[in-house]
Amino acid sequence: MAIAIGTVILKLEGEALMNEPSLPANATISHYRILSRIGAGGMGEVYLAQDTKLGRNVALKILPAAVAANPERMRRLVQEAKAAAALNHPNIAHIYEIGEAAGVNFIAMEFIDGQTLGRYIHGERVGLPKLLRHLQHVAEGLAKAHAAGIVHRDLKPGCCNAATA
């Protein structure tokens, strides 16, 4: 099971959905073609996008203009993304790129095809042993991130994505 968490990104899915996505389907940012919005939260919107150079799907996190306009917040974000990109753990989504195109700042990362841990727990009868296994995966990914000095800051079942495969 792969788990995604926030900017460290134990395999990410966006948080509370906003009404209207900022980017329409088929919009292009750098070499990423937007397919659909996954979610949105305080740190921006997350889209399912296709990397047109490598032909793979990615999660593309679009940063809010307020974050991009604040040099200190951008510095911290870039520093955290670099640290997270150096992590190699099966329960942490891989960061492929942090970039800017046409004034839009983004983070491209591994797309985890699955559902949030919250939806998983509430959507089916989950036995305690299976639930504990999923939570162990979250804890293992967090331990790896914490060992590298990265703190998640917004851990909740809706931020942890469980892969279906």
Q: From start to end of the chain, where are the E strands?
A: 28-29, 32-41, 44-51, 56-62, 95-101, 104-110, 114-116, 161-163
* Pair of tokens at residue 94: 């891989």
* Pair of tokens at residue 49: 């996008």
* Pair of tokens at residue 37: 């919005």
> CA distances (Å), 22 to each of 3, 54, 67, 107, 110, in order?
26, 25, 16, 16, 21
Catalytic positions, please? 154
